Structure 1
Amino acid sequence: MRYSDDIIEEVRMKNDIVDVVSQYVKLTRKGSSYFGLCPFHNEKTPSFSVTPSKQMYYCFGCGAGGNVFNFVMEYENYSFGEALSHLADRAGVQLPRIEYSSEAREKAKQRETLLEINRQAAQYFYYQLRRESGQIGYRYLTDRGLSDETIRKFGLGYSDKFSDDLYKFLKGKGYGDDQLRDSGLFNVDERHGMYDKFWNRVIFPIMDVNNRVIGFGGRVMGDGKPKYLNSPETKIFDKSRNLYGLNVARTSRKPYLILCEGYMDVISMHQSGFTNAVASLGTSLTSGHASLLKRYTQEVLLLYDSDEAGVKAALRAIPILREAGINSRVVDLKPHKDPDEFIKTEGAEAFQQRLDQARDSFMFRVSVSEKEFPMEEPQGQNRFFERCARLLLELSDELERNLYIEAIVRQYHRYGISVEDLRKRVNTLAMKGTPIEQRQQPKTVEARQAQKKESAADKAQKLMLTWLVTYPGIFDTVEKYLSPGDFIVPLYHEVAEMLFEQHAQGDVNPARLLNSFTDSEEQREVASLFNATIHLETMEEQERAFSDTLIRIKQESLAEKNKNWDPTDMAGLQELVKAKKELEDLGRKRQQLHISFE
C-alpha cells in the first residue's frame, strides 16, 4: 500500500533522527552535529555524522546517508514499508488500515493462524527439551558443544517419542483439524488418523527475516530414518525462498554472508562469533535464495562440506549467485569435513583465516575442471584449455574476461599456454556460436563516467545545494541569479526544483525531500548533495567561494544551453547573448554578491 505523503512525513517528524540512530550508534556532540563510528563500514575514527537541523545522517567515509527512513532501511535491511511500519509503531502513529477484499482478508487470516500455530509449536518443543523426557535431545545438543545461551537464541527444542503429544497440545488450544493439517506439522492416514510429523527429534525452528516461525527441521535421535526431516511447503513456508539463520545474519554488519549446508553448521558458527552464516533448507540453492541474499549483501562465501557432494553444491551455486549479481568465493575446509568440525579442532581464529583466504569462485571452477582431464598428456591439456575457454565465454564483460585469461595463464603457464593462445581459443569458440551466458552488456561509457573524478562543475552544484539547505537565508540572493534550470546534472536539477519549491512555500526541509527518492543509490547521492564540504575560515573566503561557485554554475549552464541551441532559433540566440553579457557583468561585480553563512 502507498501511504500518503502527509502520513509518511508525520512518521518521520515524530522520530527524531538523533534518538533513533542513538539506539544503534554511540554518538558524541560536536558543534551542531553528532558524530560516531559508521555502522555501515569498518572505521576507527568517527566519520559518521547526524545533523538534527537537517534530520539527516551522512558518512564522510563511505557515503552512506539519508533521513531516518533510510537509516532504518539500511541498518535493518528493511523495505520502505517495513521501515515505515517500524517507525510508526515506535512513535505511536496509527497507519491507515488497508482495505482488503473478502478473499484477501480470508487468506491473511489463514496466514495469521498458521503463524500462531507455528509459534505455539515452537514454544511447546522448547519446553519439552527442558523436561526429563527431553534430556536425550538436550544431551545431543550440549555434546555438540552448544551452550544454553545458543540453544535459547535459536529456540531449539525436542519432540517426544509419543506421536500425538503436539496434536493433543494444539487441539487443547482450540485449533481444528483442517487448520492443523494446513500447518504441515502433522501426517494423516486412514489407520492412524492425524499424528505428529516430528517425534523423537531435536527440533530446529525455521524463522523468516522478521523472526516469525514458519516451519521446522528435526534431527532424529537414534538410528531412525530419515535422519533429517523438514516441514513440507505450506502457505507460509517456501523452502526455496527462505534461508536458515538469515533473521540474525541480516543484521550482522559483516561485508559478506557465509552460505553453508546445515542447521548445525549455522548454529556452531554463530556461537563462535560468525553471525553472518546462513544455510538453505534441505535443498540446493535456488534463484529465489539468490534474490533473497541480494537484498542483504553483495558477496557470499560458499562453505559447503569438503566432500564430492559439497564441491558439486558449490559448482551449482556459483552461476546462480552470479546471475543474481552476487560475487562469490569458495572456502577450503580441508582436511576437515565441515565448519563445525573445523572450529572445534582448530579454533575461530584459524577459521577466520580460511575465510580470508577464500578462493575466487571462477578460478575454483577452473581448478575443479582441471581434475577431469589427464593433464600429463597433451590431449588432456588441450581439452582442459578448451573447457577454460568455454567458461570464459560465460563472462560478458570484456575487461573481466581478459583479467581471468591472464589469471589462468599465470596459474597454468607450466603447460606453455600464453595469453594470446587462450584469447584465440575463446574467440574461435565465440565465432562458432558457443552459447554465452545471457547477461546485459555493460554500458562502458556510463561505467567510465561513473568512475571519473568529480568535475569542478559537479562540485560547484553540490556545494550550492548544501549551502541552500544549511543556510536557507541565502535563497533570496541566490534566486536573483540562479534557477533550478541552471543545475545541469539531472539529479541535481530535480533536487534543486524541489528545494526552490520548498523555499517558495516557506519550509526548506531536506529530510522531507528525501522521502521522494526510493532507490537506495539515489538516496545516497542526494544525501551527499546536502553534505558537500569546503574549508572556509574568514568572511572574505566565504564570499569568494560563494561568488566563484555561483559564476561556475552559470557558466556551465550557459555552455550546456549553447551546445543544445537550435541554429534556427533566433529568439533563443538573443537570450543566450543577453545571458552571456549578464554573466560577464556579474564577473566584474563580484563584490555585489555579499553573502553570510551565519
Structure 2
Amino acid sequence: MAGRIRDEDVQTVRSALPIDAVVSDYVQLVSGGGAQLKGVCPFHDEKSASFYVNPSKGVYHCFGCQAGGDTLDFVMKVEHLSFTEAVERLAAQAGITLRYEEGGYTPGRQKGERTRLVEAHKVAAAWFAEQLESPEAEIGRRFLGERGFDAAAAKHFGVGYAPVGWEHLVRFLRGRGFADREILGGGLASQGQRGGLIDRFRGRLVWPIRDITGEVVGFGARRLREDDNGPKYLNTPETAIYKKSHVLYGIDLAKKEIAKSGRAVVVEGYTDVMACHLAGVTTAVATCGTAFGEDHIKIIRRLLMDTSAYRGETVFTFDGDAAGQKAALRAFEDDQKFAARTSIAVSPGGMDPCELRLAEGDAAVRNLVDNPVPLFEFAIRSTVARHRVETAEGRAAALEEAAPIVARIKDRSIQHQYAVQLGGMLGILDEQFVVRRVAQIGRWQREREQTRGAGAPAGRRTEAPAPAPAPARPAAPRLNPRDPAQFVERELLKLALQYPALVTPAFDNFGEDEFPTAPYTAVRRAVAKAGGAAYGAQLPDFTARVREAAPDDGVRGLITELTVEPIRTRRAPDAVYAGEFLVKLRLQAVDSRVAEVRAHLQRLGNRASPEELAAVQGELWALEQYRNSLRTRGAAAL
C-alpha cells in the first residue's frame, strides 16, 4: 500500500511553484485589476473572462462555475488527478524529493499510477531518441532528411526510432523498474498471442506527444517499410494519461507564442508542425489521429484569451484535395464555438506545409499562413464551386446548399455581408432575394433547435405536466452583490484577506454580529480562528490558514472567491480606503443598534420606571454621539 506523503513536504510543494506560473500552462492570464490576474476558465465554456488568480495568495476562483482553490486543487481538477498524483507532479516540476510515511521513500512502489505512466513515457521517449542514431535507424534518418529535417530538428522535436523486434522497449522498461501492468496500461506494449507483452511500436519513426505542460503522454509512429502491414500512422491508444481529443501535437512548444501573438495555426500532421516551426511559424499545432474537435477548441481558446472582448485568430491549413476541403468544412461547423477570427490557408498547388517548405522554402510557408481566406468565405465558395452556376438550375441548387451555411453564421452583420457576397458569386442581381432567403432558413434552423431543445418532435407542440411541488425547506442565506450593506461586508473581508495590514488593528475588534450576512459571518469567524488580521499581516500564507480554518467546503470556496476578487477601487488599496470600509461597517452596526433601542424605547411607553427609561435613553444618546463621531472623525473614532 502506498505511503502517505508527509505534511511538511506537501506544504513545501504548495509554496514551491507560483500559482500563476502553473495556471499559465493552461490559460493565458492578463491583468484583472490590482494584484489579480484573469483569463478564460478552463473548466467551463464562457464568453467573458471570469477566472481570477491571486498570485500573492496562491489561490484561484472562477466567478462563472465557482471552481476555486490553491495550486494543488487546480492541478487536480484540470488534469483529473488524485491528491497524491498532483503533489507528485508538482514536486517533480520543482525538483523536490518527497518523503512518505510508513517506510520512507520507495519510488517504484509508492508513486501514483499517473505519475508512473508519465515517467514510463519519459524514459521511453529518451530511449527512442537514442535509437534514432543506431545503424538500423538509417531508414528513419533518410525519411527525415528527404523532408528537410536534419539531426538538430529531430532532437528539437524529440523524434525517435522504434527498432524492429518484438520486445526491445518492454525489456528496457522492465530493467528500469516498470511493471508489466504499467507498460501495458500506458499503451507502450500490447498483449501478444502467447500471453506475453510485445512492443506496440516496431520499425517505425516515433514522435513523442506532449501535453500542454510538456509531459510526454503518448506517441505517434510512422510506417517506414513496405512489409509493414499496419496503418501509415499508429498512435498510442486511449489510456489514463492520453486522450487524443484532449491533446494537440506541438502545443507545448507553441503555447507561449500563441498567447503572445493571438494566433494559432492548425495543421494536419507531425511533419507539418515541424516544417512550420522551422520556417518561423511557431504557433503551429496538429491533432493526433483524430479530427479537430470541441475539446481542441477549448485548449486554443484558453491560450488565445478567446472571449467576446479578446479576439484572436485561428488559421487552419489543409491539403487542397477533396479530403482537405472536407476537413475545412468540418472545421466550419466548429467555428461557431470560437469568438476568434477563423481562416483557412490552402496553397495553390495543394501542397501541405512540409511539401511547400521543401519546394519553395521557409518564406513560402510564412506567406501561406499570413494570407489565409476567412473560413466562412472558403466554405461558401467550396459549396458554390460544386454547381454549374451558369445555368438557372445550377444557381438555384447552389443557393439552396450554400444559404444554410450563411444562415449558421451567428454574427448577424457578418451574415448579411456574406449573403450579399453569395448573391454576387451566383450572379443573382436581386441580392435582397438572397438576403431574405438566408434569413428565412436561419429562422427555420432556430425553430428546429428550440423544438429539439424542448424535447418535442418537430412540428408539434406538447404541454409538459406541471412538476409536483417540492417539499418546503428553509431558504439558504443568499449573497446579493447589489445590496449596499452586503457590499460593505464583502469589501472589508476582501481587504482583511488580501491586505490584512491595512485593516489592523481595528478589524480584529469587530464582532461577528457586525457581519450580519450568514456566509460573511462564517468567513469572519474563520479569520479569527486563523489568528486574526493582525497575525495575518505577519504571514505570507495567511489566506491558506484561513481556508484551513473554514468549517466546510462552502465557506472555504467563499474565502477563495474573496481572495481573488479585485478590490473595488481605481487606486491602489491603501489605509484610507480600508478606513472608509471599517467606518462604513461600524456605522451599519451602530445604525442597526440605534433602530433596535428606539423600538425598545417605544415599546416601553409609560410602563418603564424612571431608572429603566434613563438607562435606555442613555444608551441611545451614547450611540448617537458615537455615530456622529464616526461621521466626522472617520477611522480615528474606531
1:592 maps to what in 2? Answer: 633
1:422 maps to what in 2? Answer: 438
- Is the Cα–Cα contact under 8 Å of residues 187 and 197 in structure 1 kept in the other structure? no
Q: Deviations 1:179-230 (Å, cap 9, x if unpaired)?
A: 888756569569xx99766555333234455623533412315696667231
CA distance in 2, matches of 1:349, 1:496: 62
SS of 1:329's equivalent? strand
2:571 is equivalent to residue 534 of structure 1: yes
Which among 355, 369, 381 is matched to residue 383 of structure 2?
Answer: 369
In structure 2, do the counterparts of structure 1 residues 273 and 302 end up closer, same or farther at CA, with 3 Å as the change threshold?
A: same
Shift of 1:239: 4.0
- Which residue identity is paired with 1:594? A
- Is the Cα–Cα contact under 8 Å of residues 159 and 198 in structure 1 kept in the other structure? yes
CA distance in 2, matches of 1:272, 1:550: 62
1:28 maps to what in 2? Answer: none
Shift of 1:268: 2.3
Q: How does 1:65-104 map to 2 (within 5 A)?
A: 65-66=54-55, 67-68=57-58, 84-88=87-91, 90=94, 92=96, 94=98
1:132 maps to what in 2? Answer: 135
Deviates more, 1:89-98 or 1:470-479: 89-98
Which of the two has higher C-alpha Rg? 2
2:171 is equivalent to residue 166 of structure 1: no
CA distance in 2, matches of 1:385, 1:557: 72
Which among 9, 14, 36 is matched to residue 58 of structure 1?
Answer: 36
Q: How does 1:471-550 map to 2 (within 5 A)?
A: 471-472=500-501, 474-477=503-506, 499=527, 502=530, 504=532, 507-508=535-536, 509-510=542-543, 526-530=563-567, 532-534=569-571, 542=576, 546-547=579-580, 550=583
CA distance in 2, matches of 1:518, 1:142: 60
Calculate the TM-score normalised by the size of structure 1.
0.63
2:281 is equivalent to residue 271 of structure 1: no
In structure 2, do the counterparts of structure 1 residues 428 and 108 end up closer, same or farther at CA, with 3 Å as the change threshold?
A: closer
Shift of 1:309: 0.9
- Which residue identity is paired with 2:439? R
Shift of 1:546: 4.0
CA distance in 2, matches of 1:5, 1:370: 66
CA distance in 1, matches of 2:139, 2:90: 44
2:449 is equivalent to residue 408 of structure 1: no
- Is the Cα–Cα contact under 8 Å of residues 137 and 158 in structure 1 kept in the other structure? yes
In structure 2, do the counterparts of structure 1 residues 521 and 326 end up closer, same or farther at CA, with 3 Å as the change threshold?
A: farther
- Is the Cα–Cα contact under 8 Å of residues 64 and 524 in structure 1 kept in the other structure? no
Q: Deviations 1:16-68 (Å, cap 9, x if unpaired)?
A: 85xx889999xxxxxxxxxxxxx9468xxxx7999xxxxxx535999753444
Calculate the TM-score normalised by the size of structure 2.
0.60
Deviates more, 1:228-237 or 1:307-316: 228-237
2:244 is equivalent to residue 228 of structure 1: no
Q: Deviations 1:92-139 (Å, cap 9, x if unpaired)?
A: 5848789xxxxxx99977x88876765565444333321333333223
Q: Deviations 1:333-374 (Å, cap 9, x if unpaired)?
A: 322521223445666666556546555545543343333444
In structure 2, do the counterparts of structure 1 residues 204 and 425 end up closer, same or farther at CA, with 3 Å as the change threshold?
A: closer
- Which residue identity is paired with 1:407? Q
CA distance in 1, matches of 2:630, 2:199: 87
- Count of matched residue positions in the alignment of Structure 1 and Structure 2: 524
Q: How does 1:110-509 map to 2 (within 5 A)?
A: 121-160=124-163, 162-164=164-166, 166=168, 170=172, 173=175, 183=187, 185=189, 198-208=201-211, 211-212=215-216, 214-221=218-225, 228-231=232-235, 233=237, 235=239, 238-250=243-255, 254=259, 255=262, 257-286=264-293, 289=296, 300-320=314-334, 329-335=342-348, 337-343=351-357, 351=365, 355=369, 358=372, 360-377=374-391, 380-387=394-401, 390-391=404-405, 400-412=410-422, 414=424, 415=428, 416-418=430-432, 422-428=438-444, 430=446, 433=448, 464=492, 467-468=495-496, 469-472=498-501, 474-477=503-506, 499=527, 502=530, 504=532, 507-508=535-536, 509=542
Gaps of 5+ in 2: 40-48, 61-69, 103-108, 307-313, 456-481, 537-541, 604-618
2:16 is equivalent to residue 15 of structure 1: yes
1:33 maps to what in 2? Answer: none
CA distance in 1, matches of 2:122, 2:175: 12
CA distance in 1, matches of 2:569, 2:270: 47
Shift of 1:296: 5.7
Q: Deviations 1:348-403 (Å, cap 9, x if unpaired)?
A: 666556546555545543343333444445555555554455446657xxxx4523
In structure 2, do the counterparts of structure 1 residues 436 and 207 end up closer, same or farther at CA, with 3 Å as the change threshold?
A: farther
In structure 2, do the counterparts of structure 1 residues 389 and 517 end up closer, same or farther at CA, with 3 Å as the change threshold?
A: farther
- Is the Cα–Cα contact under 8 Å of residues 191 and 198 in structure 2 kept in the other structure? yes
- Is the Cα–Cα contact under 8 Å of residues 75 and 251 in structure 1 kept in the other structure? no
CA distance in 1, matches of 2:288, 2:118: 18
Deviates more, 1:473-482 or 1:140-149: 473-482
- Is the Cα–Cα contact under 8 Å of residues 88 and 111 in structure 2 kept in the other structure? no
- Is the Cα–Cα contact under 8 Å of residues 302 and 328 in structure 1 kept in the other structure? no
Shift of 1:472: 3.3
CA distance in 1, matches of 2:413, 2:590: 40
- Is the Cα–Cα contact under 8 Å of residues 11 and 93 in structure 1 kept in the other structure? no
CA distance in 2, matches of 1:373, 1:531: 59
Shift of 1:259: 2.7
2:106 maps to what in 1? Answer: none
Paired-residue identity, %: 18
CA distance in 2, matches of 1:303, 1:142: 23
- Is the Cα–Cα contact under 8 Å of residues 207 and 221 in structure 2 kept in the other structure? yes
SS of 2:319's equivalent? coil
SS of 2:219's equivalent? strand
- Is the Cα–Cα contact under 8 Å of residues 40 and 64 in structure 1 kept in the other structure? no
Shift of 1:520: 12
Gaps of 5+ in 1: 26-38, 51-56, 99-104, 441-453, 563-569
In structure 2, do the counterparts of structure 1 residues 184 and 437 end up closer, same or farther at CA, with 3 Å as the change threshold?
A: farther
CA distance in 2, matches of 1:207, 1:239: 11
CA distance in 1, matches of 2:362, 2:519: 46
In structure 2, do the counterparts of structure 1 residues 548 and 227 end up closer, same or farther at CA, with 3 Å as the change threshold?
A: closer
